Amino acid sequence: MGTNTLTKTASKPANGNLRNDVQAVMKILDTFGQLLAEETTALRKSDFKTVDRLQAAKKNLANEYQILVTGLADRKAEVALLEMPLREKLVKSRTGFTHILQENLTALETAKASAGRLVNKILDAARKAVVDDKQTNYSAKGHAQAYKTSTLSLSVDKNL
């Protein structure tokens, strides 16, 4: 699924027909869930170009979801009076989205840990390459000195 299918589904709550507002929430949950599932798949494949490409749409969908849910929260009494099949469908939609969201968060944490391990391996290799038993170091005055007494500074930005 490409981001071109993830167009805006709502920009503000209708505050009119509650049934339509609930259906709009379920639609945004479905669309947002599809995007998160796509991102989760990309994370598991280490396809970070796709992950990066999805971020703008992900932010838009999160904002739309917040607007819609805030609108429904203001109408809590009315939502409680909705017919049971529609309320059950809303609960099922929210539960499915929560499951997809949890899988996405797990994939994000795994990718972050993997990237951290990679950075640490690179830093370890760089540190080992800098300290070599056969190297000759020179002081500021140009005198040869043992590598263990020479000073060297190595700093790397570890932020991902």
pLDDT tens for the 160 residues of the chain, in order: 444 444 444 444 445 689 999 999 999 999 999 999 999 999 999 999 999 999 999 999 999 999 999 999 899 889 888 999 999 999 999 999 999 999 999 999 999 999 899 888 888 888 777 665 556 666 677 777 665 544 555 555 555 4
Residue boundaries of the structural domains of the chain? 15-125
Q: What pLDDT is recorded for position 96? A: 97
In CATH, what number does 15-125 get?
1.20.58
> And the tokens for 101?
């969201």
